[in-house]
Amino acid sequence: MVGTMPKALLLENIHPDAAQSLRDHGFEVECLKGALSEDELIDALEGVDLLGIRSKTSVTRKVIDARPTLTAVGCFCIGTNQVDLEYAGKNGIAVFNAPYSNTRSVVELVIGDIICLMRRIPAHTHHMKHGMWDKSASGSHEVRGKTLGIIGYGNIGSQLSVVAEALGMRVLFYDIEEKLAMGNAHRCDTLNELLEQSDVVTLHVDGRKSNTGFFGEDQFEHMKQDAIFINLSRGFVADLDALKKHLDSGHLSGAAVDVFPIEPKKTGDEFLTDLADEDNMILTPHIGGSTLEAQKSIGQFVSQRLEDYWFKGSTMLSVNLPQITLSDIKSNFRIAHLHANLPGVLARVNRVLGEDGINIAAQALGTEGEIGYVVTDVAQRPDQRALDQLASIEGTIRMRVIS
């Protein structure tokens, strides 16, 4: 049964609109600025129903086992690789993210990085700060007419493609999945085909484990002389030692890195990197999607998904549960039954309700892989015997009564 004062914990400086929206819907909300370690998170989750995180806090099997009553996790970002999605689903924890809300912010930073690196702005700025006047066009180029190679042609990569083409760039892209080219962009059949032609190479791959170390020495070796490298995707994707080697040798003319293999958990912590002494280098602290506009949009979007799941049982845009879009409850009570995807569960749910004399006003069923989800609106609350029977149906993962 939904409690009178459910509790939400929001970490990593999530936009205040998210907390306010949850409070407006009757949640007790605690907000913390930094990320938490595994053990710290377990302690902080005592009595918590909804958890909000960004990219630094990991929801592992240990966390899920320690806090089995956690109902949902909101990832206030694009990625969800910081959550064990499969294990969360099998334990009845819904996970939501914001796959589109900060797309434009990331794209704009990439465009800014490209222009600044092509004009050698970091190097010129460094010289000016150290009292050197170096008015020269040497090594400076317009982006118009240059070739941009986009690796990963999803939401960000495809929108970047459109904006870059508007600046007069030729766009190539490579993706392991079939993607529709935007504008005049050309799909490359192999990664090396893209690397050997691109003046700028930018990574926009997802956080799946198989992408660890995806871009290393061999890939850098195939890049054009004086090309520029940009990574705003995931820190574990690119080999930064190999990047530094190719910058120091003069093979690459510049780079921008926004994500790192190991990052501090909170603002103000010390961070050191060997790339700091590179001449034409832009280093940013994982701020690709961190604009006020994007964070506000993400805060509103993910908090709405969490509220809809808590109060309606709606799994629309969940990344680990069958997706069922639900409107307001059409009757007095709603029974949300999450279960292993076994034959006959729906029939058993209906049999229990029928034996209890419960009239069904509306019903929806969805399955995804090994998980099934049936939501039933009923005219009256089942008695405790019926609720116990529903909870004991073979394969039941979690059963909630929402009113």
Provide φ and ψ at 320, rounded to 5°.
-135, 0
Strands (E), 84-125: 94-96
User: For residue 175, which of 205, 207, 211, 199 has the smallest C-alpha distance?
Assistant: 205
Query: SS3 for 63?
Result: helix
Is residue 251 among the annotated active site residues?
Answer: no
Rg (CA), the chain: 25
- Number of other residues whose CB lies within 10 A of the CB of residue 326: 21
User: For residue 37, which of 56, 61, 51 has the smallest C-alpha distance?
Assistant: 56
Q: Is the CB of residue 346 less than 8 Å from the CB of residue 335?
A: no
User: For residue 149, which of 71, 101, 70, 220 has the smallest C-alpha distance?
Assistant: 220
Beta bridge partners of 256: 230, 282
121-129 helix and 103-118 helix, angle to the nearest 10 degrees: 70
Provide φ and ψ at 29, rounded to 5°.
-120, 130
Q: How far apart are CA 146 and CA 138, in angstroms?
A: 17
Which of the residues 141, 263, 381, 398 is marked catalytic? Answer: 263
| Residue appearing with tokens 């600025």 | 33
User: For residue 374, which of 318, 326, 328 has the smallest C-alpha distance?
Assistant: 326
Is residue 234 among the annotated active site residues?
Answer: yes
User: For residue 345, which of 376, 384, 323 has the smallest C-alpha distance?
Assistant: 376
Which of the residues 286, 305, 334, 348 is marked catalytic? Answer: 286
Is residue 263 among the annotated active site residues?
Answer: yes
Sign for the pseudo-dihedral over CA of 38, 67, 33, 104: positive
In one letter, which amino acid is 161? S
Q: Is the CB of residue 18 less than 8 Å from the CB of residue 302?
A: yes
Which of the residues 124, 234, 337, 348 is marked catalytic? Answer: 234
Checking DSSP bridges between strand 94-96 and strand 50-53, what pairing results, if any?
A: unpaired
Among all residues, which ones are annotated catalytic?
Answer: 234, 263, 286
